[in-house]
Amino acid sequence: MTTQTFACPACGSKKTLDDPRPGEKLHCTCGMSYPASPVFAVAAPVGDRLTGRGWAVAVSFALLIGSAAAAAWLMTRPAAAPPERPGPVAAATTRVEHPTPPAPADVTPGPANPPSQPPPTPPTPAAGNPPPDRPATTAPPTPTPPAAAECVSAVKLWDAFDLDPTAAAAKYAGKVVEVRAHGRVAKDSLGRPYFGAEVVKPREGRPSARLSPEERRWEVEGYPPSVRCYLTPEQAAALEEVPAGREVVIRGTCVGRKDMQDVYRGYIVELVNCAVVAAK
């Protein structure tokens, strides 16, 4: 009678059978099923008696395990790194510097310090012509204001932003406009000079009872400017000499409507980069 011991490939538990049939199914307590094959045969526990066939099975199993281990080591061992090639830095450090050949004996070196030559004398400019290193200075030309997209009265421009602000912004905002107006030169809270165009004038006769207190005061003192044309100090000084009742034509870029307190209807229209075109 031959006795063999088999190990479970899942948990390693051992089971010993007497005269196992080849291919007989073994069931482990862990739930694994495996055949009674020499592949899963292990040596019998110490103290058990092995027959000749048992020793043969044990040796075969040991050889099988050793072969599997050797094959696994050959497949997983790291490949040998290729020999390292010298890079450009290493190549540069190993380059052999050849000595510079000496100059031929028949070549005579020149003097270390050549004789100084006097600097060339610049040509004398002709009478009436400026010297070449001092170009003639001319006054910069006076910038010409850009052409106006439309010429409109201050009343019409201000009223357009009251009737339809969106359409007025699309038509005038960002465009150069010539404005005809009556008014006076003043300064804003930041001290910037501007020409204030009068849009609303006091009514003749007795003020209406429907006017607000501010409007009653403006009927006596005059209404604040509703269109502001910002000027340079020089332009503003020139307009201060113009009589108040004279019409002025000013060209500038229309910024658009700006809400403001203490003015009629609560808004004004601003123009920047303005220049006086005419004072009729």
pLDDT in tens, the chain (280 residues): 678 897 888 788 888 887 787 778 888 888 788 787 877 788 765 544 445 555 565 556 667 776 766 666 567 665 555 555 554 444 444 454 555 555 555 544 555 555 556 666 666 555 555 555 555 566 555 555 556 668 999 999 999 999 999 999 999 999 999 999 999 999 999 999 999 999 988 887 776 778 888 888 888 888 999 999 999 999 999 888 888 778 999 999 999 999 999 999 999 999 999 999 988 7
Q: Distance (Å, rounded) from C-alpha 253 to C-alpha 51? A: 116
Say if residues 253 and 176 touch (Cβ distance below 8 Å).
yes
CATH code for the part of the protein at 150-201+215-279:
2.40.50.140
- For residue 43, the one-letter residue type is A
Say if residues 6 and 40 touch (Cβ distance below 8 Å).
yes
The DSSP secondary-structure symbol of 169 reads H
Q: Distance (Å, rounded) from C-alpha 223 to C-alpha 262? A: 10
- The residue ranges of every structural domain in the chain are 3-73, 150-201+215-279
Helix (H, G, I), strand (E, B) or coil at 63: helix
- Could you give the C-alpha distances from 54 to 18, 24, 60, 155, 200, in angstroms and in order? 11, 17, 10, 122, 126
Say if residues 262 and 217 touch (Cβ distance below 8 Å).
no
> What is the DSSP code string of 217-258?
HHHHH-PPPSEEEE--HHHHHHHTTS-TTS-EEEEEEEEEEE
